[in-house]
Chain A
Amino acid sequence: AQTVTQSQPEMSVQEAETVTLSCTYDTSESDYYLFWYKQPPSRQMILVIRQEAYKQQNATENRFSVNFQKAAKSFSLKISDSQLGDAAMYFCASVNSGNTPLVFGKGTRLSVIA
């Protein structure tokens, strides 16, 4: 069974600074995908970034990047130049290949301080 662990219930960052959200996972599969989703107060789930396990290169999307450590089963999210609009719940998630559901971590609530 897959598990996803987010050990930081809450984090805060000053506007324009950088913050890193932690995530570890466990899976017995060799082919899987990892994601970070953002859930703002509207509660709409928004995909922030994805990483295919077979890719060694860390994914980046503008100000968002990941540090994917496959051997350690770690998948942290770095947000650079934090903006007020980045304040939200962030969920780390994993899925095996195939049409299977995502498994989510418990989430990290990020506050951005002006």
Chain B
Amino acid sequence: GAVVSQHPSRVICKSGTSVKIECRSLDFQATTMFWYRQFPKQSLMLMATSNEGSKATYEQGVEKDKFLINHASLTLSTLTVTSAHPEDSSFYICSARGPGTSAGELFFGEGSRLTVL
């Protein structure tokens, strides 16, 4: 199947700093990537849809100025958590649909665990 890689897998930062998480499609081009957030023992909640060459589409309740998404190329989308606070601590997962996939499944990155002190 298609491979999606996410980096870093773990990051710890101080409150008030910004953190960038990268999501790459390694063996295919992804015009669209999806960013999810997962709190402990909870399900995956869609944050935003990242579109190559255009603005991301954010879900209701997600602050676009807090969670900056850039999809500058067909293989890379980045999520920047700006002025991070402890409540932003969470597990962030990116995903993309593989090339020519007709069955609709998403391939997921390994996830990034963000801890804000």
Contact = CB atoms under 8 A, between A and B. Distances in A.
Q: Do A and B come from one complex?
A: yes
B110 A101 contact: no
A7 to B, nearest CB: 13
Interface in B16-65: 31-32, 34, 38, 42-44, 46, 49
Interface of B: 1, 31-32, 34, 38, 42-44, 46, 49, 91, 93, 95, 97, 103-108, 110-111, 113
Interface residues of A, number: 21
A106 B104 contact: no
Q: Is the interface of B mostly helix, strand, loop or mixed?
A: strand
A43 B103 contact: no
B104 A101 contact: no
A47 B103 CA distance: 12
The 3 closest A-B pairs by CB, nearest first: A33-B104, A45-B108, A101-B34
Given A91-B44, A95-B104, A95-B106, 15 more contacts: A32-B104, A33-B104, A35-B104, A43-B38, A43-B93, A44-B108, A45-B44, A45-B108, A45-B111, A47-B107, A50-B104, A101-B49, A101-B106, A102-B34, A102-B44
Interface of A: 32-33, 35, 42-45, 47, 50, 52, 91, 95, 97, 99, 101-107
B111 A104 contact: no
